[in-house]
């Protein structure tokens, strides 16, 4: 039975990633010997990509622990894209399992990956609070209820339990001291771009679900309902509170330059 090119490629990749995997059919001794060299070069390139992308994570956990986690990640999650830089995808999940006793590591790795992706995001012009105000000046109740926003490309948000702002600064300054970074209560970290510079901030935890919903196409009216939570029959006071909270969030997102357009 003939072996297709796709089958040979799959066997070759498996042999690169796993030394115990069977070699492609029909390989000579010289090809087998050369594979070891190629495997070493390939893994070194992937390790280099991870080291470059996750500089702060590496500094935080130390060289040995980072290398061990990286090797585990490379074997289990080889890059699926056309560039080896994609090996960083999901590294935060690897860190969550490998550094289970230090959950800030996974949060830091997630942030570094998002910041790297933001660096190459498409350029956009933020919608200023003043421009939004001019556009919304004639809005009626239905217009507000149906309002949809376009957020910056590749902006991201997640819940964290550690002070990533303090940890980020400490690692960037080369400070070897690692103070306790656990927050008194969970926060949301939002990452976006200021001009060409990726940046992030910690905000109240309820921003996470709200920002995710609006970035996914939720209307402003649906956001207010989301902020009401599980109240089956909210009274007027609760609805007013939720509407005010939605307005506070919208104002923050506009001021920070996270919003780029009003969607139809």
- Do 25 and 145 lie in one domain? The reply is no
- Asked which of 57, 90, 120 is the last residue of a domain, the reply is 120
Region 74-95: mean pLDDT is 85
- Do 61 and 43 lie in one domain? The reply is yes
Average pLDDT for the chain = 88
- Asked which of 120, 147, 172 is the last residue of a domain, the reply is 120
- Do 15 and 100 lie in one domain? The reply is yes
Is the pLDDT at 11 greater than 70, yes or no? no
Using one digit for the tens of pLDDT, what is the confidence trace for 186-233?
A: 999 999 999 999 999 999 999 999 999 999 999 999 999 999 987 767
- Do 116 and 127 lie in one domain? The reply is no
Region 157-166: mean pLDDT is 97
pLDDT value, residue 176: 67
- Asked which of 120, 147, 178 is the last residue of a domain, the reply is 120
pLDDT value, residue 74: 86
Using one digit for the tens of pLDDT, what is the confidence trace for 132-153?
A: 999 999 999 999 999 999 999 9
The burial of 121, by beta-carbon neighbours within 10 Å (0-12 exposed, 13-18 middle, 19 or more buried), is given as: middle
In the DSSP assignment, the letter for residue 122 is P
Number of domains within the chain: 2
pLDDT value, residue 83: 75
Region 17-44: mean pLDDT is 64
- Do 132 and 109 lie in one domain? The reply is no
pLDDT value, residue 216: 97
- Do 128 and 235 lie in one domain? The reply is yes
- Do 203 and 232 lie in one domain? The reply is yes
Q: Going by DSSP bridges, is the β-strand pair 156-162/182-194 parallel, antiparallel, or unpaired?
A: antiparallel
- Do 102 and 150 lie in one domain? The reply is no
Tell me the residue range of the domain where 223 lies.
123-264
- Do 103 and 131 lie in one domain? The reply is no
- Do 75 and 113 lie in one domain? The reply is yes
Region 94-123: mean pLDDT is 97
- Do 132 and 256 lie in one domain? The reply is yes
Percent of the chain with pLDDT over 70: 82
pTM: 0.85
Residue 115: which residues within 8 A CB-CB, separation 6 or more? Answer: 191, 198, 200
pLDDT value, residue 1: 43
Q: Going by DSSP bridges, is the β-strand pair 197-204/182-194 parallel, antiparallel, or unpaired?
A: antiparallel
Q: Are 56 and 171 in contact (CB under 8 A)?
A: yes
- Do 20 and 133 lie in one domain? The reply is no
Phi, psi dihedrals of residue 157, rounded to the nearest 5°: -145, 150
């Amino acid at each position: 039975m003939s072996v297709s090119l796709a089958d040979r490629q799959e066997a070759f990749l498996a042999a690169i990633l796993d030394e115990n995997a069977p070699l492609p059919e029909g390989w000579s001794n010289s090809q087998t010997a050369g594979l070891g060299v190629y495997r070493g070069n390939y893994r070194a390139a992937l390790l280099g990509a991870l080291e470059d992308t996750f500089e702060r994570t590496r500094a935080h956990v130390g060289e040995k622990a980072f290398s061990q986690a990286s090797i585990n990640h490379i074997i289990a999650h080889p890059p699926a894209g056309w560039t080896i830089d994609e090996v960083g995808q999901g590294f935060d999940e690897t860190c969550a399992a490998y550094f289970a006793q230090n959950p800030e590591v996974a949060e830091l790795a997630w942030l570094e990956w998002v910041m790297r992706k933001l660096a190459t995001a498409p350029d956009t012009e933020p919608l200023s609070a003043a421009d939004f105000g001019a556009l919304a000046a004639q809005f009626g109740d239905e217009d507000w209820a149906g309002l949809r926003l376009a957020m910056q490309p590749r902006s991201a948000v997640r819940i964290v339990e550690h002070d990533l702002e303090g940890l980020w600064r400490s690692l960037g300054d080369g400070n070897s001291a690692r103070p306790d970074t656990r927050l008194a209560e969970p926060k949301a970290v939002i990452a976006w771009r200021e001009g060409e510079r990726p940046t992030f901030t910690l905000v109240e935890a309820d921003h996470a679900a709200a920002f995710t919903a609006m970035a996914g196409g939720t209307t402003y009216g649906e956001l207010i309902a989301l902020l009401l939570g599980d109240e089956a029959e909210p009274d007027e006071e609760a609805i007013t509170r939720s509407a005010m909270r939605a307005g506070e969030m919208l104002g923050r997102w506009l001021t920070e330059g996270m919003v780029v357009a009003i969607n139809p």
